[in-house]
Structure 1
Amino acid sequence: MERGLELHGIGVRFGGLTALDDVSLRVPPDRVVGVIGPNGAGKTTLFNVICGFVSPQTGSLTLDGRPLRPRPHRLSRLGIARTLQGTGLFAGLSVLENVMTGASHTARAGFASALFGLPRSDRDERRLRQHALDVLDDLGIAGHADAAPGTLPFAVRQRVALARALAARPRLLLLDEPAGGLGADDIAELAELVRQLPRRDADPCAVLLVEHHMDLVMAVCDELVVLDFGRVIAAGTPDEIRDDAAVTDAYLGALVEESAP
Protein backbone atom coordinates (compact mmCIF):
# COMPACT_ATOMS: atom_id res chain seq x y z
CA MET A 1 0.00 0.00 0.00
CA GLU A 2 1.33 3.42 -0.92
CA ARG A 3 1.47 5.67 2.14
CA GLY A 4 3.80 8.26 0.71
CA LEU A 5 6.47 10.08 2.67
CA GLU A 6 6.24 10.25 6.46
CA LEU A 7 8.43 12.05 8.97
CA HIS A 8 8.32 10.82 12.55
CA GLY A 9 9.53 13.03 15.40
CA ILE A 10 12.38 14.64 13.45
CA GLY A 11 14.85 16.64 15.53
CA VAL A 12 17.81 18.62 14.19
CA ARG A 13 20.27 20.69 16.18
CA PHE A 14 23.18 22.76 14.99
CA GLY A 15 25.36 23.27 18.03
CA GLY A 16 23.13 24.95 20.58
CA LEU A 17 20.47 25.90 18.00
CA THR A 18 17.39 23.73 17.62
CA ALA A 19 16.31 23.87 13.96
CA LEU A 20 13.62 21.17 14.13
CA ASP A 21 11.97 19.83 17.26
CA ASP A 22 9.84 16.67 17.14
CA VAL A 23 8.47 17.39 13.65
CA SER A 24 6.07 14.84 12.18
CA LEU A 25 4.14 15.10 8.92
CA ARG A 26 2.88 12.99 6.07
CA VAL A 27 2.74 13.62 2.31
CA PRO A 28 0.20 11.13 0.84
CA PRO A 29 0.59 10.10 -2.81
CA ASP A 30 -2.36 12.16 -4.06
CA ARG A 31 -1.94 15.41 -2.13
CA VAL A 32 -0.32 18.82 -2.18
CA VAL A 33 1.00 19.50 1.31
CA GLY A 34 2.27 22.95 2.23
CA VAL A 35 4.75 23.92 4.93
CA ILE A 36 4.51 27.52 6.06
CA GLY A 37 6.13 29.63 8.73
CA PRO A 38 8.25 32.74 9.20
CA ASN A 39 11.91 32.98 8.26
CA GLY A 40 13.93 30.75 10.55
CA ALA A 41 11.03 28.41 11.29
CA GLY A 42 12.95 25.40 9.95
CA LYS A 43 11.38 24.97 6.51
CA THR A 44 14.66 24.75 4.57
CA THR A 45 16.14 22.40 7.16
CA LEU A 46 13.09 20.19 6.74
CA PHE A 47 13.69 19.97 2.98
CA ASN A 48 17.38 19.27 3.57
CA VAL A 49 16.51 16.37 5.86
CA ILE A 50 14.24 14.85 3.22
CA CYS A 51 16.96 15.27 0.59
CA GLY A 52 19.70 13.79 2.77
CA PHE A 53 21.79 16.95 3.10
CA VAL A 54 21.10 17.04 6.86
CA SER A 55 20.93 13.98 9.13
CA PRO A 56 18.47 14.32 12.01
CA GLN A 57 19.66 13.56 15.52
CA THR A 58 16.26 12.13 16.45
CA GLY A 59 13.31 10.66 14.58
CA SER A 60 13.01 8.76 11.32
CA LEU A 61 11.67 8.91 7.77
CA THR A 62 9.66 6.29 5.93
CA LEU A 63 8.50 5.90 2.33
CA ASP A 64 5.44 3.68 1.95
CA GLY A 65 6.09 2.41 5.46
CA ARG A 66 9.68 1.37 4.77
CA PRO A 67 12.67 3.09 6.40
CA LEU A 68 14.06 5.91 4.27
CA ARG A 69 17.65 7.07 4.58
CA PRO A 70 17.92 9.60 1.76
CA ARG A 71 21.17 10.45 0.01
CA PRO A 72 21.34 13.43 -2.38
CA HIS A 73 22.75 11.41 -5.27
CA ARG A 74 20.04 8.75 -4.93
CA LEU A 75 16.98 10.97 -4.73
CA SER A 76 15.96 10.50 -8.36
CA ARG A 77 16.01 6.74 -8.02
CA LEU A 78 13.80 7.04 -4.95
CA GLY A 79 11.33 9.05 -7.00
CA ILE A 80 12.03 12.37 -5.27
CA ALA A 81 12.79 15.61 -7.13
CA ARG A 82 13.40 19.12 -5.80
CA THR A 83 13.39 22.60 -7.25
CA LEU A 84 15.63 25.28 -5.78
CA GLN A 85 14.98 28.85 -4.74
CA GLY A 86 15.73 30.79 -7.93
CA THR A 87 16.12 28.41 -10.83
CA GLY A 88 19.51 26.69 -10.61
CA LEU A 89 19.64 26.17 -14.38
CA PHE A 90 22.86 25.43 -16.27
CA ALA A 91 23.73 28.58 -18.20
CA GLY A 92 25.85 26.71 -20.76
CA LEU A 93 23.05 24.35 -21.79
CA SER A 94 19.92 25.03 -23.81
CA VAL A 95 16.48 24.80 -22.23
CA LEU A 96 16.00 21.34 -23.75
CA GLU A 97 19.39 20.13 -22.52
CA ASN A 98 18.64 21.42 -19.02
CA VAL A 99 15.42 19.44 -18.92
CA MET A 100 17.15 16.33 -20.28
CA THR A 101 19.53 16.36 -17.32
CA GLY A 102 16.53 15.84 -15.05
CA ALA A 103 15.85 12.46 -16.63
CA SER A 104 19.44 11.33 -17.09
CA HIS A 105 19.11 8.72 -14.32
CA THR A 106 16.70 6.78 -16.55
CA ALA A 107 19.31 6.33 -19.30
CA ARG A 108 19.79 2.66 -20.10
CA ALA A 109 23.16 2.99 -21.82
CA GLY A 110 26.25 2.68 -19.70
CA PHE A 111 29.35 4.84 -19.59
CA ALA A 112 31.14 2.88 -22.31
CA SER A 113 28.22 3.23 -24.73
CA ALA A 114 28.13 6.99 -24.24
CA LEU A 115 31.93 7.30 -24.45
CA PHE A 116 32.21 5.50 -27.78
CA GLY A 117 28.93 6.75 -29.25
CA LEU A 118 27.44 3.28 -29.59
CA PRO A 119 23.90 2.86 -31.02
CA ARG A 120 22.35 2.18 -27.61
CA SER A 121 23.64 5.55 -26.38
CA ASP A 122 22.12 7.26 -29.42
CA ARG A 123 18.77 5.62 -28.75
CA ASP A 124 18.91 6.77 -25.14
CA GLU A 125 19.59 10.35 -26.16
CA ARG A 126 16.71 10.37 -28.64
CA ARG A 127 14.36 8.94 -25.99
CA LEU A 128 15.44 11.47 -23.37
CA ARG A 129 15.19 14.32 -25.86
CA GLN A 130 11.64 13.39 -26.82
CA HIS A 131 10.61 12.99 -23.19
CA ALA A 132 12.07 16.41 -22.35
CA LEU A 133 10.22 17.97 -25.29
CA ASP A 134 6.98 16.38 -24.10
CA VAL A 135 7.44 17.83 -20.60
CA LEU A 136 8.22 21.27 -22.02
CA ASP A 137 5.10 21.02 -24.16
CA ASP A 138 2.97 20.07 -21.15
CA LEU A 139 4.19 23.24 -19.42
CA GLY A 140 3.57 25.38 -22.49
CA ILE A 141 7.21 26.32 -23.12
CA ALA A 142 8.30 23.92 -25.86
CA GLY A 143 8.85 26.92 -28.14
CA HIS A 144 11.86 27.88 -25.99
CA ALA A 145 13.57 24.47 -26.27
CA ASP A 146 16.62 25.76 -28.14
CA ALA A 147 17.01 29.00 -26.18
CA ALA A 148 19.68 29.73 -23.61
CA PRO A 149 18.05 30.09 -20.16
CA GLY A 150 19.66 33.47 -19.57
CA THR A 151 17.79 34.99 -22.51
CA LEU A 152 14.35 34.16 -21.12
CA PRO A 153 12.06 36.02 -18.69
CA PHE A 154 12.31 34.86 -15.10
CA ALA A 155 8.83 33.32 -15.12
CA VAL A 156 9.78 31.13 -18.08
CA ARG A 157 13.03 30.11 -16.40
CA GLN A 158 11.00 29.05 -13.38
CA ARG A 159 8.93 26.79 -15.61
CA VAL A 160 12.08 25.34 -17.15
CA ALA A 161 13.34 24.48 -13.65
CA LEU A 162 10.01 22.83 -12.90
CA ALA A 163 10.16 20.93 -16.19
CA ARG A 164 13.63 19.63 -15.31
CA ALA A 165 12.30 18.28 -12.02
CA LEU A 166 9.23 16.72 -13.64
CA ALA A 167 11.37 15.10 -16.33
CA ALA A 168 12.60 12.71 -13.64
CA ARG A 169 9.02 11.39 -13.31
CA PRO A 170 9.08 11.87 -9.53
CA ARG A 171 6.50 10.40 -7.18
CA LEU A 172 7.22 13.30 -4.81
CA LEU A 173 8.13 16.83 -5.87
CA LEU A 174 9.62 19.26 -3.35
CA LEU A 175 8.88 22.85 -4.38
CA ASP A 176 11.02 25.44 -2.60
CA GLU A 177 9.35 28.87 -2.88
CA PRO A 178 8.42 28.51 -6.58
CA ALA A 179 6.49 31.81 -6.61
CA GLY A 180 9.48 33.91 -5.60
CA GLY A 181 9.96 36.78 -8.05
CA LEU A 182 6.71 36.09 -9.95
CA GLY A 183 3.90 38.53 -10.66
CA ALA A 184 0.24 37.92 -9.86
CA ASP A 185 -0.65 36.48 -13.28
CA ASP A 186 2.32 34.12 -13.26
CA ILE A 187 1.47 32.97 -9.73
CA ALA A 188 -2.10 32.20 -10.81
CA GLU A 189 -0.78 30.08 -13.70
CA LEU A 190 1.65 28.33 -11.36
CA ALA A 191 -1.18 27.56 -8.95
CA GLU A 192 -3.21 25.86 -11.66
CA LEU A 193 -0.19 23.80 -12.71
CA VAL A 194 0.75 22.68 -9.19
CA ARG A 195 -2.84 21.84 -8.30
CA GLN A 196 -2.99 19.36 -11.18
CA LEU A 197 0.29 17.52 -10.51
CA PRO A 198 -1.11 14.82 -8.18
CA ARG A 199 -4.09 14.30 -10.46
CA ARG A 200 -2.39 13.91 -13.84
CA ASP A 201 -3.20 10.81 -15.88
CA ALA A 202 0.49 10.35 -16.73
CA ASP A 203 3.20 10.52 -14.05
CA PRO A 204 1.15 11.99 -11.18
CA CYS A 205 3.21 13.15 -8.22
CA ALA A 206 2.57 14.35 -4.70
CA VAL A 207 3.89 17.80 -3.82
CA LEU A 208 5.50 19.19 -0.68
CA LEU A 209 5.47 22.97 -1.01
CA VAL A 210 7.35 25.62 0.97
CA GLU A 211 6.07 29.07 0.11
CA HIS A 212 5.54 32.57 1.54
CA HIS A 213 2.85 33.62 -0.94
CA MET A 214 -0.26 32.76 1.03
CA ASP A 215 -2.63 33.17 -1.92
CA LEU A 216 -0.76 30.37 -3.71
CA VAL A 217 -0.58 28.19 -0.60
CA MET A 218 -4.28 28.51 0.15
CA ALA A 219 -5.23 27.88 -3.48
CA VAL A 220 -3.23 24.70 -4.12
CA CYS A 221 -2.69 22.87 -0.83
CA ASP A 222 -4.89 20.05 0.43
CA GLU A 223 -3.17 20.18 3.81
CA LEU A 224 -0.91 22.62 5.63
CA VAL A 225 1.73 22.20 8.32
CA VAL A 226 2.71 25.31 10.26
CA LEU A 227 6.22 25.59 11.71
CA ASP A 228 7.39 28.11 14.27
CA PHE A 229 10.84 27.96 15.87
CA GLY A 230 11.25 24.44 14.50
CA ARG A 231 8.05 23.04 15.98
CA VAL A 232 4.72 22.13 14.40
CA ILE A 233 2.18 24.48 15.95
CA ALA A 234 -0.76 23.56 13.69
CA ALA A 235 -1.74 21.17 10.92
CA GLY A 236 -4.92 20.83 8.89
CA THR A 237 -6.75 22.01 5.82
CA PRO A 238 -6.22 25.58 4.56
CA ASP A 239 -9.59 26.58 6.02
CA GLU A 240 -8.67 25.11 9.40
CA ILE A 241 -5.31 26.89 9.41
CA ARG A 242 -6.89 30.18 8.33
CA ASP A 243 -9.27 29.98 11.27
CA ASP A 244 -6.69 28.80 13.82
CA ALA A 245 -6.38 31.54 16.42
CA ALA A 246 -2.91 30.45 17.51
CA VAL A 247 -1.59 30.62 13.95
CA THR A 248 -3.22 33.97 13.33
CA ASP A 249 -1.88 35.41 16.57
CA ALA A 250 1.61 34.09 15.88
CA TYR A 251 2.24 35.37 12.38
CA LEU A 252 -0.25 34.46 9.63
CA GLY A 253 -1.27 38.09 9.22
CA ALA A 254 2.37 39.09 8.92
CA LEU A 255 2.94 36.43 6.26
CA VAL A 256 0.03 37.71 4.22
CA GLU A 257 1.47 41.22 4.38
CA GLU A 258 4.88 39.91 3.27
CA SER A 259 3.32 38.15 0.28
CA ALA A 260 1.45 41.23 -0.89
CA PRO A 261 2.99 42.97 -3.94
Structure 2
Amino acid sequence: MNLETHITPGRFGGAAGTGAHLLVEGVTVRFGGLTALSEVGFEVPEGQIVGVIGPNGAGKTTLFNVVCGFTTPQDGRLSLDGAPFRPRPHRLTRHGISRSLQGLGLFEGLDVLDNIMTGAGVHARSGFWSGLLALPRADRDDRALRDRAEALADELGLGDHLHAFPSTLPYAVAKRVALARTLVSDPRLVLLDEPAGGLSHDDVQQLAELITSLPGRGCSVMLVEHHVDLVMSVCDSLVVLDFGKVIATGTPAQVRDDPAVAEAYLGAEVPSS
Protein backbone atom coordinates (compact mmCIF):
# COMPACT_ATOMS: atom_id res chain seq x y z
CA MET A 1 0.00 0.00 0.00
CA ASN A 2 1.46 3.29 -1.08
CA LEU A 3 1.10 6.05 1.49
CA GLU A 4 1.67 9.67 0.63
CA THR A 5 3.62 11.53 3.29
CA HIS A 6 4.88 15.05 3.73
CA ILE A 7 7.95 15.12 5.95
CA THR A 8 8.82 18.42 7.59
CA PRO A 9 12.16 18.30 9.47
CA GLY A 10 12.14 19.67 12.99
CA ARG A 11 8.42 20.32 13.09
CA PHE A 12 7.54 18.81 16.47
CA GLY A 13 10.46 19.75 18.68
CA GLY A 14 10.58 23.43 17.83
CA ALA A 15 14.09 24.35 16.71
CA ALA A 16 15.75 21.07 15.85
CA GLY A 17 18.79 20.17 17.94
CA THR A 18 21.69 17.96 16.99
CA GLY A 19 20.52 14.68 18.48
CA ALA A 20 22.07 12.56 21.20
CA HIS A 21 25.50 10.93 21.16
CA LEU A 22 25.51 7.23 22.07
CA LEU A 23 28.78 5.41 22.79
CA VAL A 24 28.98 1.63 23.26
CA GLU A 25 32.29 0.28 24.57
CA GLY A 26 33.45 -3.32 25.02
CA VAL A 27 29.97 -4.80 25.46
CA THR A 28 29.96 -8.53 26.08
CA VAL A 29 26.82 -10.63 26.62
CA ARG A 30 26.84 -14.31 27.54
CA PHE A 31 23.87 -16.64 27.77
CA GLY A 32 25.14 -19.66 29.64
CA GLY A 33 28.02 -20.99 27.57
CA LEU A 34 27.10 -18.94 24.51
CA THR A 35 28.76 -15.59 23.89
CA ALA A 36 26.17 -13.54 22.00
CA LEU A 37 28.27 -10.35 21.91
CA SER A 38 32.03 -10.10 22.36
CA GLU A 39 33.62 -6.73 23.16
CA VAL A 40 31.32 -4.83 20.82
CA GLY A 41 32.02 -1.14 20.46
CA PHE A 42 30.67 1.59 18.19
CA GLU A 43 29.11 5.03 18.40
CA VAL A 44 26.09 6.88 17.11
CA PRO A 45 27.31 10.47 16.66
CA GLU A 46 25.02 13.45 17.09
CA GLY A 47 22.58 13.83 14.23
CA GLN A 48 23.76 10.77 12.31
CA ILE A 49 22.09 7.55 11.17
CA VAL A 50 24.07 4.43 12.04
CA GLY A 51 23.02 1.04 10.74
CA VAL A 52 23.75 -2.31 12.36
CA ILE A 53 23.75 -5.25 9.95
CA GLY A 54 24.89 -8.84 9.84
CA PRO A 55 23.66 -12.35 9.03
CA ASN A 56 21.09 -14.19 11.12
CA GLY A 57 22.49 -14.98 14.55
CA ALA A 58 25.14 -12.26 14.36
CA GLY A 59 23.95 -10.59 17.57
CA LYS A 60 21.96 -7.65 16.17
CA THR A 61 18.87 -8.25 18.32
CA THR A 62 20.96 -8.79 21.44
CA LEU A 63 22.79 -5.52 20.81
CA PHE A 64 19.50 -3.69 20.29
CA ASN A 65 18.19 -5.16 23.53
CA VAL A 66 21.31 -3.98 25.39
CA VAL A 67 20.81 -0.39 24.21
CA CYS A 68 17.10 -0.56 25.11
CA GLY A 69 17.79 -2.02 28.55
CA PHE A 70 16.16 -5.41 27.99
CA THR A 71 19.50 -7.20 28.28
CA THR A 72 22.25 -6.37 30.79
CA PRO A 73 25.77 -7.06 29.54
CA GLN A 74 28.32 -8.85 31.69
CA ASP A 75 31.06 -6.47 30.55
CA GLY A 76 31.34 -3.10 28.85
CA ARG A 77 29.60 0.21 29.25
CA LEU A 78 27.33 2.69 27.51
CA SER A 79 27.38 6.45 27.66
CA LEU A 80 24.91 9.05 26.46
CA ASP A 81 26.13 12.56 25.71
CA GLY A 82 29.34 11.79 27.58
CA ALA A 83 27.69 10.54 30.78
CA PRO A 84 27.44 6.91 31.94
CA PHE A 85 24.17 5.40 30.79
CA ARG A 86 22.35 2.37 32.18
CA PRO A 87 19.24 1.99 30.03
CA ARG A 88 15.95 0.83 31.48
CA PRO A 89 13.03 0.20 29.08
CA HIS A 90 10.50 2.18 31.13
CA ARG A 91 12.83 5.16 31.53
CA LEU A 92 14.05 5.63 27.96
CA THR A 93 11.80 8.60 27.24
CA ARG A 94 13.28 10.42 30.25
CA HIS A 95 16.61 10.29 28.44
CA GLY A 96 15.12 11.48 25.15
CA ILE A 97 15.19 8.00 23.62
CA SER A 98 12.41 6.20 21.79
CA ARG A 99 12.35 2.77 20.17
CA SER A 100 10.37 0.67 17.76
CA LEU A 101 10.36 -3.11 17.88
CA GLN A 102 10.28 -5.76 15.16
CA GLY A 103 6.58 -6.38 15.70
CA LEU A 104 3.96 -3.67 15.65
CA GLY A 105 3.26 -3.79 19.40
CA LEU A 106 0.08 -1.75 19.01
CA PHE A 107 -2.67 -1.87 21.62
CA GLU A 108 -5.71 -3.50 20.01
CA GLY A 109 -8.13 -1.83 22.42
CA LEU A 110 -6.95 1.70 21.54
CA ASP A 111 -7.57 3.61 18.35
CA VAL A 112 -4.76 5.03 16.21
CA LEU A 113 -4.63 8.39 17.98
CA ASP A 114 -4.45 6.87 21.45
CA ASN A 115 -1.83 4.37 20.28
CA ILE A 116 0.35 7.21 19.07
CA MET A 117 -0.11 9.10 22.34
CA THR A 118 1.16 6.12 24.37
CA GLY A 119 4.60 6.80 22.90
CA ALA A 120 5.00 9.83 25.18
CA GLY A 121 6.01 8.03 28.37
CA VAL A 122 6.17 11.32 30.26
CA HIS A 123 2.42 11.72 29.69
CA ALA A 124 1.71 8.48 31.53
CA ARG A 125 3.73 9.62 34.54
CA SER A 126 2.75 13.25 34.92
CA GLY A 127 -0.80 12.89 33.70
CA PHE A 128 -1.83 10.08 36.03
CA TRP A 129 -1.67 11.97 39.34
CA SER A 130 -2.87 15.22 37.80
CA GLY A 131 -5.81 13.40 36.28
CA LEU A 132 -6.57 11.54 39.50
CA LEU A 133 -6.68 14.84 41.40
CA ALA A 134 -8.57 16.61 38.60
CA LEU A 135 -5.83 19.20 38.24
CA PRO A 136 -5.92 21.65 35.30
CA ARG A 137 -2.43 20.53 34.35
CA ALA A 138 -3.81 17.13 33.31
CA ASP A 139 -6.13 18.73 30.75
CA ARG A 140 -3.38 20.98 29.39
CA ASP A 141 -0.88 18.13 29.10
CA ASP A 142 -3.43 15.85 27.46
CA ARG A 143 -4.48 18.51 24.97
CA ALA A 144 -0.92 19.37 24.03
CA LEU A 145 -0.03 15.72 23.54
CA ARG A 146 -3.19 15.09 21.53
CA ASP A 147 -2.46 18.06 19.27
CA ARG A 148 1.09 16.83 18.72
CA ALA A 149 -0.11 13.30 17.97
CA GLU A 150 -2.71 14.57 15.50
CA ALA A 151 -0.17 16.75 13.70
CA LEU A 152 2.28 13.86 13.47
CA ALA A 153 -0.45 11.53 12.22
CA ASP A 154 -1.36 13.99 9.48
CA GLU A 155 2.27 14.31 8.46
CA LEU A 156 2.67 10.54 8.18
CA GLY A 157 -0.50 10.09 6.15
CA LEU A 158 -2.60 8.75 9.02
CA GLY A 159 -5.13 11.56 9.28
CA ASP A 160 -7.97 9.44 7.87
CA HIS A 161 -7.29 6.61 10.33
CA LEU A 162 -7.20 8.42 13.69
CA HIS A 163 -10.19 6.60 15.14
CA ALA A 164 -9.59 3.22 13.51
CA PHE A 165 -8.40 0.24 15.53
CA PRO A 166 -5.19 -1.62 14.65
CA SER A 167 -6.93 -4.82 13.58
CA THR A 168 -8.74 -2.92 10.79
CA LEU A 169 -5.59 -1.39 9.27
CA PRO A 170 -3.47 -2.63 6.38
CA TYR A 171 -0.07 -3.72 7.63
CA ALA A 172 1.79 -0.78 6.04
CA VAL A 173 -0.55 1.68 7.74
CA ALA A 174 -0.15 -0.05 11.10
CA LYS A 175 3.63 0.21 10.63
CA ARG A 176 3.30 3.96 10.27
CA VAL A 177 1.24 4.12 13.45
CA ALA A 178 4.05 2.36 15.28
CA LEU A 179 6.58 4.82 13.83
CA ALA A 180 4.41 7.79 14.77
CA ARG A 181 4.26 6.46 18.33
CA THR A 182 8.06 6.32 18.30
CA LEU A 183 8.33 9.98 17.28
CA VAL A 184 5.61 11.60 19.38
CA SER A 185 7.88 12.10 22.40
CA ASP A 186 10.23 14.34 20.34
CA PRO A 187 13.19 12.01 20.94
CA ARG A 188 16.86 12.89 20.52
CA LEU A 189 17.83 9.26 19.83
CA VAL A 190 15.60 6.87 17.87
CA LEU A 191 16.22 3.11 17.99
CA LEU A 192 14.65 1.26 15.06
CA ASP A 193 14.53 -2.54 14.95
CA GLU A 194 13.81 -3.80 11.42
CA PRO A 195 11.23 -1.14 10.48
CA ALA A 196 11.14 -2.36 6.85
CA GLY A 197 9.94 -5.85 7.75
CA GLY A 198 6.84 -6.81 5.75
CA LEU A 199 6.75 -3.62 3.67
CA SER A 200 6.47 -3.38 -0.11
CA HIS A 201 9.12 -1.72 -2.27
CA ASP A 202 7.15 1.54 -2.44
CA ASP A 203 6.62 1.57 1.32
CA VAL A 204 10.32 0.96 1.93
CA GLN A 205 11.12 3.94 -0.28
CA GLN A 206 8.84 6.14 1.81
CA LEU A 207 10.30 4.69 5.01
CA ALA A 208 13.73 5.72 3.73
CA GLU A 209 12.43 9.27 3.26
CA LEU A 210 11.14 9.32 6.83
CA ILE A 211 14.35 7.95 8.34
CA THR A 212 16.55 10.41 6.47
CA SER A 213 14.37 13.25 7.77
CA LEU A 214 15.02 12.36 11.42
CA PRO A 215 18.36 14.19 11.84
CA GLY A 216 16.54 17.32 10.69
CA ARG A 217 14.14 16.79 13.58
CA GLY A 218 17.04 16.77 16.04
CA CYS A 219 17.37 12.97 16.19
CA SER A 220 20.26 10.56 16.01
CA VAL A 221 19.28 7.11 14.75
CA MET A 222 20.44 3.56 15.42
CA LEU A 223 18.92 1.31 12.75
CA VAL A 224 19.01 -2.49 12.97
CA GLU A 225 17.80 -3.85 9.66
CA HIS A 226 17.97 -6.87 7.32
CA HIS A 227 17.03 -4.80 4.28
CA VAL A 228 20.51 -4.04 2.98
CA ASP A 229 19.42 -1.66 0.22
CA LEU A 230 17.63 0.46 2.84
CA VAL A 231 20.60 0.76 5.20
CA MET A 232 22.95 1.44 2.30
CA SER A 233 20.75 4.31 1.14
CA VAL A 234 19.96 6.04 4.45
CA CYS A 235 22.90 5.45 6.81
CA ASP A 236 25.89 7.69 7.38
CA SER A 237 27.87 4.73 8.70
CA LEU A 238 27.46 1.01 9.31
CA VAL A 239 28.48 -1.49 11.97
CA VAL A 240 28.72 -5.09 10.76
CA LEU A 241 28.37 -7.96 13.23
CA ASP A 242 29.23 -11.61 12.69
CA PHE A 243 29.11 -14.24 15.44
CA GLY A 244 28.74 -11.47 18.04
CA LYS A 245 31.82 -9.51 16.97
CA VAL A 246 32.25 -6.29 15.02
CA ILE A 247 33.99 -7.26 11.78
CA ALA A 248 33.75 -3.90 10.00
CA THR A 249 32.70 -0.28 10.43
CA GLY A 250 32.65 2.60 8.00
CA THR A 251 30.58 4.32 5.38
CA PRO A 252 28.19 2.21 3.31
CA ALA A 253 30.67 2.29 0.41
CA GLN A 254 33.55 1.18 2.63
CA VAL A 255 31.51 -1.65 4.14
CA ARG A 256 30.28 -2.82 0.76
CA ASP A 257 33.86 -3.13 -0.49
CA ASP A 258 35.18 -4.90 2.62
CA PRO A 259 36.10 -8.53 1.79
CA ALA A 260 35.27 -9.71 5.32
CA VAL A 261 31.76 -8.31 4.99
CA ALA A 262 31.28 -9.82 1.56
CA GLU A 263 32.26 -13.20 2.91
CA ALA A 264 30.19 -12.98 6.09
CA TYR A 265 27.04 -11.38 4.80
CA LEU A 266 26.58 -9.23 1.72
CA GLY A 267 28.16 -11.44 -0.90
CA ALA A 268 26.74 -14.67 0.42
CA GLU A 269 23.24 -13.84 1.59
CA VAL A 270 22.10 -10.55 0.14
CA PRO A 271 23.92 -9.48 -3.04
CA SER A 272 24.64 -5.75 -3.14
CA SER A 273 23.06 -3.74 -5.91
Tell whether the structures are fold-level matches, with TM greater than 0.5: yes
1:156–1:62 distance in 2 versus 1, CA, 3 Å:
same
1:179 pairs with 2:196? yes
Aligned partner (choices 245, 261, 264) of residue 231 of structure 1: 245
3-state SS of 1:252 partner: coil
Give the counterpart letter for 2:251 in structure 1: T
1:30 to 38, 44, 47: 47
Say whether residues 1:74 and 2:91 are aligned partners.
yes
Local SS of the residue matching 2:226: coil
Q: CA deviation at 1:231?
A: 0.1
Which structure 1 segments of 5+ residues have no match? Answer: none
What residue number does 2:114 align with?
A: 97
Q: Identify the match of residue 150 of structure 2 among 133, 136, 141.
A: 133
- Match among 24, 32, 37 for residue 7 of structure 1: 24
Cα–Cα, structure 1 residues 17 and 234, in superposed 2: closer, same or farther, change >3 Å? same
Aligned to 2:74: 57
**Is 1:9–1:24's contact at 8 Å kept on the other side of the alignment?**
yes
1:157 matches 2:174: yes
* Alpha carbons 1:214, 1:255 under 8 Å: kept: no
CA deviations on 1:15-73 (whole Å, 9 max, x unpaired) are 10000001000001211100000111111111111111111111110111111011111
Greater alpha carbon shift after TM alignment, 74-83 vs 132-141: 132-141
Partner of 1:114: 131
CA-CA distance at 1:163 after TM superposition: 0.3
Deviation at 1:111, TM superposition (A): 3.3
The answer to whether the Cα contact below 8 Å between 2:111 and 2:162 also exists between their aligned partners in 1 is: yes
Deviation (angstroms), 1:116: 4.3
1:245 pairs with 245, 259, 262, which one?
259
- Larger fraction in helix: 1
The equivalent of 1:167 in structure 2 is 184
Q: Which moved more, 1:171-180 or 1:118-127?
A: 118-127
1:193–1:85 distance in 2 versus 1, CA, 3 Å: same
Deviation at 1:229, TM superposition (A): 0.3
Secondary structure of the residue aligned to 1:99 is helix
Indicate how the Cα distance of structure 1 residues 108 and 198 shifts in structure 2: closer, same or farther if over 3 A, else same.
Answer: same
The Cα of 1:119 is off from its aligned counterpart by 2.6
TM-fit CA distance, 1:254: 3.3
Cα distance in 2 between the residues matched to 1:153 and 1:180: 14
Structure 1 pair 232/112, CA: closer, same or farther in 2 (3 Å)?
closer
Structure 1 residue 108, shift from structure 2 partner:
8.0
Instruction: Confirm or deny: 8 A CA contact 2:55 2:264 kept in the other structure.
Output: no
Letter in 2 for 1:163: A
Structure 1 residues 226 and 109, CA gap change in structure 2 (3 angstroms): closer
Which is further off, 138-147 or 84-93? 138-147
Within the candidate set 86, 101, 107, 1:84 is matched to 101
Which structure 2 segments of 5+ residues have no match? Answer: 1-17
Counterpart of 2:270 in structure 1 is 256
Residue identity over aligned pairs, in percent, reads: 63
Instruction: Give the whole-Å Cα distance in 2 for the aligned partners of 1:164 and 1:2.
Output: 18
Between the two structures, name the one with larger relative contact order (CA 8 Å, sep ≥ 6).
Answer: 2
Q: Which amino acid aligns with 1:4?
A: H
Distance 2:127 2:222 in 1: 33
Distance 1:15-1:109 versus aligned 2 partners, 3 A rule = closer
- Please give the alpha-carbon distance, in whole angstroms, between the structure 2 residues aligned to 1:188 and 1:152: 20
Residue 236 of structure 2: which of 222, 225, 234 is its match?
222
The 1:96/1:2 distance shift into structure 2, 3 A limit, reads closer
Q: Distance in 1 between matches of 2:121 and 2:159?
A: 19
Q: Distance in 2 between matches of 1:244 and 1:45?
A: 24
TM-score by structure 1 length?
Answer: 0.93
Q: Relative to structure 1, is the Cα distance of residues 97 and 3 closer, same or farther in structure 2, using a 3 angstrom cutoff?
A: closer
SS at match of 2:35: strand
1:212 paired with 2:226, answer yes
